[in-house]
Structure formats: structure tokens, C-alpha cells
Amino acid sequence: MGAYLVRRLLLMALTLFGMSVLIFVMLRLVPGDIADILTNASGISDPKEKAKIAHDLGIDQPILVQYGKWIGGLARGDLGFAYVSEQPAIDEILPRIPISGKLAGMALFFAVLLGVPLGVISAVRQNTKLDYFLRVISLSGLSLPAFWLGLLVLMGSVHWFGTIPIYNSDPHGFWDDVAMLGLPAIVVGFRSSALIMRLTRSSMLEVLRQDYIRTARSKGASMFAVNFKHALRNALLPVVTVIGIEAAFLVGGLIVTETVFNIPGVARFLVEAILWRDYPIVQNLVMLIAFVVVMINFLVDMAYMALDPRIKYSD
């Protein structure tokens, strides 16, 4: 187990290194930079002024030098300065992380809370009217784009309640967070819940046909014990994988939802930084997302051992 963890941590470090190189190179391959944007926005046509801006920002240096400074600063906890606001990048990023984290966490909680039980019910009641109804709901969730569903929610709220449920203040406390982020979380988590429900259903149907399930029923075990204690635990492995994938998707996939509901989170800020070619912000935010995704995959692998004792990561 110890050797596996060492190998896995080294692989994670190598993955993050590759991501850092890819992020850095791709940003430099995009036509235009912050100096072009600033000079065009201010109407400056003097090449000397543009060169001075590029020199002040350090983007006229060789790419290897720029990369070395970024990685060195990242190792020291120095994320550099944002080009647009001229504030430390960490001061621009840190306040937005809890907002996106809460939104993604609430969306995932809603998806699991709704998707897993309904998937079990749909499998147990296979080919009944309830099963057909739940399958239609799941297909609807997979078919409806989150931004379109969000716009429908906004229009419905205006029509019925006369208000727009957008993020317009700083919440204080758990219930304020729920009030501000609950509706956007449901909107973005609806698709994930539909995917989890369909996978739970198919995995449960496969497990319910196993011999040990028939043995448990013949011994007089209750329906709840058979379905949730025996069958669900063995059906959860692929479901956990999908939950991990959806959690990773939610980390960086909240761009449209945060824009529609006016939520000042990380994803929305990342798009704004890309438009301005604000390299320090973009590089650090994408690296943060990559780190979270890598950690989620690691935690999913660790969860396999807790769910199935037969799985062992040998040294």
C-alpha cells in the first residue's frame, strides 16, 4: 500500500507538471496578449508604448524565463500580480474559491441525494409506470442544457414571484448560502442527478440478478436490506466513478451557470481573465482546477477499497 501511494503521488506530480507546461504554452500560442489589448483599448498606436507595457509586465522575456518565474513563485506561494487589476493574484482568486466550492458541493449533494435513491427505485420497480416516469425524467435531465434550464428558472421566477433569484449580496451563514446558491445548485446538479440515476439503475439491475441476492431473499431478508444493504453496496463502484467525474466536471463547468445567476465565482472569473489575456490569473486558476481534478480521482480510487474489501492496491 505504501509503495502504491508513493507511485500515485509521483504520477500526480508528473500530471500537474505536464498540465503546467500545456497551460503555459497554449496561452502563449493564442494570438494577441495583454499589451495588445491595453494599447487597443486606450487608442495607443506608438510601438514604443506597447513595448514599454510588455516590458513592465514581463511578457517580453523568453518563454522559459517566464515559465521558470511562474513555477518558482508557485512553489513559494507567490502567484504574481493580476495584469488588469494590478492586485496580487491570490487576493483576486481566494475570495472566489469558496463561492464556486459551495455551489459545486451543493450541486453534487443534490445530484447524489436525488440520483442514487431514484436509480435504486427505478431498478427495483423495473418496467413499471414509475420506472418509465423516472426514465423520462432522467432523459430530460440529460437533454436540457444547464444554461437553458437556468434561463427558464429565471423567467418563471419573474412571472410567478416578481423577483430574479440572482447572487446579489454576500451571504452570512449556512442558510444564507442555501438561499443564495440553492437554486443555481439544483439547476446545475439536475443533469448530474440524471446521469447518476441512470447508471445506478443499470448497475443495480445487473447486481439484482446475482445468485447471492436470490439467496438473501430466500432467507427472508427484507426488501430494504436486500436492495440497499446487499445490492446497492456492490452496485456503487461504477456510480462512485461517475460521481467523481461529475465532481471534477462541476469544478470547472460552472461558467454558464455563474454567468446566468450573476455569481462571482472562479469559473466566471476565469473566462474574464482569458478574454483579457491575464496570464497570472488564467494559469493559476487552471492549475487549481487541475489539482482538484487530480485529487478527486485519487480519492475515488481510495473509496474503492472502502466499498469493496476485495480491492487491494498491492506494493
pLDDT tens digits along 152-184: 887 887 778 777 666 666 666 677 777 778 888
Q: Helix-strand-coil percent breakdown of the chain, rounded to 5?
A: 80, 0, 20
Return the minimum-mean-pLDDT range out of 65-74, 169-178, 277-286. 169-178
Question: Domain check: are 80 and 216 in the same one?
Answer: no
What Å distances lie between residue 74 and 32, 78, 98, 171, 201, CA to CA? 25, 5, 20, 31, 44
Q: How many CA atoms lie within 13 A of 80 on its CB side?
A: 23
Residues 85 and 102 in one domain: no
Reported as a pLDDT band with limits 50, 70 and 90, residue 33 is low
Q: Which domain holds residue 195?
A: 97-307
Residue 68 lies in a domain: yes
Quick check: helix, strand or coil at residue 262?
A: coil
Rounded to whole angstroms, the Cα distance separating 138 from 274 reads 34
Within a 10 A sphere around the Cβ of 252, how many other Cβ atoms? 19
> In sequence order, which residues have a C-beta less than 8 Å from that of residue 255 and are 6 or more positions away?
267, 268, 270, 271
End-to-end, the C-alpha distance of the chain in Å comes to 5
- pLDDT for the residue numbered 133: 92
- Domains: count for the chain: 2
Model confidence pLDDT, tens digit, residues 215-226: 888 888 788 778
Q: Is 315 a member of any domain?
A: no
**Does 314 reside within a domain?**
no
Same domain, 47 and 108: no
- 193 and 238 housed in the same domain: yes
For residues 119 and 130, what is the distance between their CA atoms, to the nearest angstrom?
A: 11
Mean of the per-residue pLDDT values of the chain: 81
| 83 falls within a domain | yes
Do 167 and 33 lie in one domain? The reply is: no
Give me the pLDDT at residue 298, please: 85
**Based on the domain organization, do 137 and 20 belong to the same domain?**
no
Span 263-281, pLDDT tens digits = 888 888 888 888 777 778 8
Is residue 81 helix, strand or coil?
A: strand
Question: In the listed set 70, 94, 118, which residue is the last one of a domain according to the structure?
Answer: 94
- In whole angstroms, how far apart are CA 211 and each of 200, 206, 217, 219, 230? 19, 11, 10, 12, 12
281 and 232 fall within a common domain: yes
83-116 burial: b if 16+ Cβ within 10 Å, else e:
bbeeeebbebbeebeebbebbbbbbbebbbebbb
In a domain, 313, yes or no: no
Q: Tell whether 64 and 114 lie within a shared domain.
A: no
Residues 87 and 205 in one domain: no
* 312: in domain: no
> Where is average pLDDT lowest: 4-8, 42-46, 48-52, 128-132?
42-46
Please report whether residue 144 resides in a domain.
yes
Of 94, 112, 130, the domain-final residue = 94
The reply to whether 168 and 289 lie within a common domain is yes
d(CA 187, CA 210): 36
Q: Is residue 211 part of a domain?
A: yes
Tell me which of 94, 113, 147 is where a domain ends: 94
Same domain, 133 and 265: yes
Give the span between the Cα atoms of 134 and 118, in whole angstroms: 7
Which residues, in sequence order, are bridge partners of residue 81? 88
Cell of 90: 491570490
Q: Are residues 30 and 170 in the same domain?
A: no
Tally helices (H) and strands (E) across the chain.
Answer: 15, 0
Q: Rg (Cα) of the chain, in Å, rounded?
A: 24
- Tell me the CATH number at 186: 1.10.3720.10
> How far, CA to CA in Å, does 202 sit from each of 122, 215, 227, 232?
9, 21, 14, 11
Q: Cα–Cα distance between 56 and 164 in angstroms, integer?
A: 43
